[in-house]
Amino acid sequence: MIIMKKGTVTGLLFTMVLTLISGSAWAASFDVAFPPHMTYIEQDTVAIVLKFDKDTLDNVKIKLDNFEYPDIAVPSGRENFCFAINLKPGMNTISVTGLKNKNTIGTKDIELFFRSDLRVEFKKAPKEFKRYLYHKDENEAGCKKCHNLEPTLNDLNPAKPENSPCYSCHKSKVDFKNVHVPAEAWKCLDCHGLKKGEQKYAVTKPIVKTCYPCHGIKVSEWQGQKMMHGPTAVGMCNVCHDPHGSDWPGLTRMFATDLCLNCHQGFDTGKHVIAGFFGKGHPTRGVPDPFVKEKEFSCAGCHNPHGSYSNKFLKFENTSVSTFCINCHKK
C-alpha cells in the first residue's frame, strides 16, 4: 500500500517536472503537424510542418538520429513553419526542438520509416506503422489559406515553375543534376492524376502505365524480347528510376552498379566474368565506358536492365567468349 502511494506521488512529481521542462505549463503550444508519428513513407525527403502560437518560436533545432542540422530561423509573425529534410532508408527518429531566445520551448520526437522496394532490408515497415499519405481533405484543410490545393486543368502546363500548384511545397523535388524532362517543366500533372474519388495525385499502376505515353516504343521493344528483367517485367520502373530526377546518368536512384548490388550482392568483384591471376575479376566501376565518353563503366555496360535477346540480359550476343568480349576489346 505504502509503496504504491509513494509511487503515485513520485509519478505525479515526475509529470510536473516534465511539464516544467517542456515548458508547456506556461509557454504557448508548439506542435509538429506533419509528418504524423509512427508512420511510413516511400521517398527520401519529408516536409516538416510546425504549428505554434504567434511569436513563440524564433529558431528550431532538428536532430535526425544522432545527426544535428544547423538551427533554422523561424520568420517572425508566423504560426506555421514548413521545411524539408532528407531521410535514410529504414527508421528515422526526428527530434524537433523549438527555441525562443535560445531557451527550449519544447521537443517533439517523431518516428518515421522510409520503406523501399530497392533496399531488401527495408522492404517492410514495422507493422504498427501506418502509411502516411498527406493529400486528404482533413490534412489539407489547415494549409489552404497559404497554399493552392485546388489545381485545375489549366495548371497542366505552367508558364514557369512558380506558377505550378505543386511548387510552393515540392520545390525540392527537382533538386538534381539531371531532371526528367516533364518534371523540369513542372508538368507534374502529366503523371499525377487530377481525378476525384481516388487518392489525390495518384499515378496509374503498375507504374509502367505512367511511362507508356512517352516511352511506349521502348517498352514494347523490351516486351518483344526473349527475356525481360524481373522488376521491369512487373512494371516497377520506379524501383530503379526516380521519375523526377537523379544525380546519375539515366535517372537511376543511385550509380548503376550500386543499384544492381541491392538485389545481386557480390557481383561487383566481376569474378563472374573473368577470374584471372590472383582471382582478379572484371572492373564494374571506376573506368570509362568504351561507348559513352565521360560516363563511368557499370554493370549496365554489359547488361541491359530491361530485357535482351541474349541470355543473362547481356547487351551483346554471348555465344562464345570471342563474340562477346570483342565488342569492347578489339584486337
Question: Which of 64, 147, 176, 309 lies at the binding interface for ligand HEC (CB under 6 A)?
Answer: 147
Contact set for ligand HEC, span 221-250 (CB under 6 A):
229-232, 235-241, 243-244, 249-250
Question: Which of 38, 63, 268, 309 lies at the binding interface for ligand HEC (CB under 6 A)?
Answer: 268
Pull the grid cell for residue 183: 518534371
Instruction: Closer to ligand HEC by CB, 63 or 271: give it.
Output: 271
Contact set for ligand HEC, span 312-331 (CB under 6 A):
312-314, 318, 321, 324-325, 327-329
> Least separation, in Å, of the C-beta of 244 and ligand HEC?
6
Q: Which residues pair with 93 in a beta bridge?
A: 111
Question: Which of 23, 52, 125, 306 lies at the binding interface for ligand HEC (CB under 6 A)?
Answer: 306
**Cβ(31)–Cβ(108) below 8 Å:** yes
Question: Which of 15, 133, 220, 226 lies at the binding interface for ligand HEC (CB under 6 A)?
Answer: 133
> Least separation, in Å, of the C-beta of 3 and ligand HEC?
46
Stretch that binds ligand HEC, among 12-20, 58-66, 103-111, 306-314 (CB under 6 A): 306-314
Q: Which residues pair with 64 in a beta bridge?
A: 67, 94
* Contact call for residue 275 and ligand HEC (CB under 6 A): no
In the stretch 4-43, what mask flags binding to ligand HEC with x, by CB under 6 A? -----------------------------xx-------xx
Instruction: Closer to ligand HEC by CB, 110 or 239: give it.
Output: 239
Instruction: Closer to ligand HEC by CB, 97 or 238: give it.
Output: 238
Instruction: Closer to ligand HEC by CB, 91 or 169: give it.
Output: 169
Instruction: Closer to ligand HEC by CB, 80 or 95: give it.
Output: 80
d(CA 46, CA 36): 11
d(CA 226, CA 316): 13
Burial of 124 (0-12, 13-18, 19+ CB in 10 A): exposed
Contact set for ligand HEC, span 42-81 (CB under 6 A):
42-43, 45-47, 49, 75, 78, 80-81
For residue 135, the 8-state DSSP code is: -
Burial of 153 (0-12, 13-18, 19+ CB in 10 A): exposed
Nearest Cα residue to 203 out of 135, 129, 147, 262: 135
d(CA 307, CA 207): 17
> Least separation, in Å, of the C-beta of 91 and ligand HEC?
17
Strands 307-308 and 227-228: antiparallel
Question: Which of 118, 156, 157, 309 lies at the binding interface for ligand HEC (CB under 6 A)?
Answer: 118
> Least separation, in Å, of the C-beta of 309 and ligand HEC?
14
SS3 260: helix
DSSP string, 279-327: G-----SSSB-SSSTTSB--GGGTB-SSEESSGGGBSS--SSHHHHHTT
* Contact call for residue 113 and ligand HEC (CB under 6 A): no
Instruction: Closer to ligand HEC by CB, 8 or 162: give it.
Output: 162
Quickly count: other Cβ atoms within 10 Å of residue 48's Cβ: 21
